[in-house]
Amino acid sequence: MKFVHMADMHFDTSFTTLTNKSDLGDKRRLDQRIAFNKIIKFIKENEIQFLFIAGDFYEHEYIRQSTIDYINNLFKEIPNTHVFISPGNHDPFLKNSFYNKYNWNSNVHIFGPELSVVELEDVDVYGYGFDDFYYTNTELEDFKLANPNKINILVAHGTLNASNTLEKVYNPISEKLLKEKGFDYVALGHIHKLDYNTEPNQRIVYCGSTVSMGFDELGAHGILVGDLEKEELQIAFVPVDNCEFIIKEIDVTEMLDLDELASVINSIEFEENKYYKISIIGKRNFEIDLFKLKKLIINNNIIKIKDYTKMNYDLEKIMSENTLRGLFVKEIMNKMESNPEDREVLENALEIGFEILDK
């Protein structure tokens, strides 16, 4: 059987944390539609029998009727493909959700909060989904496959091997327990990082987010395409996101002023269809006014600039001064020596203190 595994598209999300550029959210929402169109085209061209969507397909808070119509019209283009959706924490199966009240095409099956199965000729597809923005009621402990000789699939949205309180409210799932249950493939969503080849014959798989949500999701994003038999699985990653997010570090230690920094940034060759974050690092010899710097940047692909620099002070020399600055540095340095675990906080205090004393 041939399948496509996708998750975490987050249709119609706001993308407000990316940048203050007002049109970027609109652009990324259009990218989502373009990516999904690619997926449907791929399914048609390759005669894919199953599409597994492992949650967070859309954003309950922001999703528009027009987007749901767009999605469903694309589902109509693949009538011979079985579509299985497991709602996640961003698109739970609520009473007023589109999962519950919308008339989806006949090839679409949406799992509710109770573990259930759709039995087909050679394949049994199991699944369950969130019925709220948090979910802890997994029913796998007492579960047994109805037909172990068939190909058995599980589609779910959740946290594998949850280790802390935060993770445990998003459908915690034991990897050991899943392996004991004997599924031939477990299509997971929720973790936005791709994870499908970390061990031999891996059958419990995260496909990652379909399109990147920002600078914490670098690299290519897309879908997993599989060809599954009872004893054999072939799986490959297929990128569908038009854009990538890239972080470039610029060290200002040897630079003399803001104009030089802007000139260095403007001289970089940036690739089209990629979004860039500039991380300014090193020890600065001048004030970095990000508002002014952004006005000097000519490349529109740079959507975020962050200043991670430290002031370039000769602390040993300042400590020898018989001044308030000297006494202040001595006090901070003594605390650093006696409390090395607080070094980062104390360095920040040093910076703030210098800014006040230098006025």
Three state DSSP letters for the chain: CEEEEECCCCECCCCCCCCCCCCHHHHHHHHHHHHHHHHHHHHHHHCCCEEEECCCCECCCCCCHHHHHHHHHHHCCCCCCEEEECCCCCCCCCCCCHHHHCCCCCCEEECCCCCEEEECCCEEEEECCCCCCCECCCCCCCCCCCCCCCEEEEEEECEECCCCCCHHHECEECHHHHHHHCCCEEEEECCCCCECCCCCCCCEEECCCCCCCCCCCCCCCEEEEEEECCCCEEEEEEECCCCEEEEEEEECCCCCCHHHHHHHHHHCCCCCCEEEEEEEECEECCCCCHHHHHHHCCCCCEEEEEECCEECCCHHHHHCCCCHHHHHHHHHHHHHHHCHHHHHHHHHHHHHHHHHHCC
Separation CA 13–CA 326 (nearest Å): 51
Distances in Å between the alpha carbon of 310 and those of 57, 282, 291, 359? 41, 6, 18, 18
- The domain locations on the chain are 2-239, 243-312, 315-359
Cβ-contact 322, 359 below 8 angstroms: no
**Torsion sign across C-alpha atoms 145, 147, 148, 150:** negative
| pLDDT for residue 199 | 84
Cβ-contact 154, 113 below 8 angstroms: no
Cβ-contact 215, 248 below 8 angstroms: no
Helix axes 24-46, 65-75, angle to 10 degrees: 20
Answer whether CATH 3.60.21.10 is correct for domain 2-239. Answer: yes
Separation CA 325–CA 318 (nearest Å): 7
| pLDDT for residue 359 | 62
Separation CA 355–CA 186 (nearest Å): 55
| pLDDT for residue 358 | 66
pLDDT in tens, the chain (359 residues): 999 999 999 999 988 777 666 688 899 999 999 999 999 999 999 999 999 999 999 999 999 999 999 999 999 999 999 999 999 999 999 999 999 999 999 999 999 999 999 999 999 999 999 999 998 877 788 899 999 999 999 999 999 988 777 788 998 898 999 999 999 999 999 999 999 988 888 999 999 999 999 999 999 999 999 999 988 999 999 999 999 999 999 999 999 999 999 999 999 999 888 999 999 999 998 889 999 999 999 988 899 999 999 888 778 888 888 888 889 888 888 988 888 888 878 888 887 887 787 66
Nearest Cα to 18, choosing from 223, 261, 302?
A: 302
Structure tokens belonging to residue 125: 């597809």
| pLDDT for residue 20 | 66
| pLDDT for residue 233 | 94
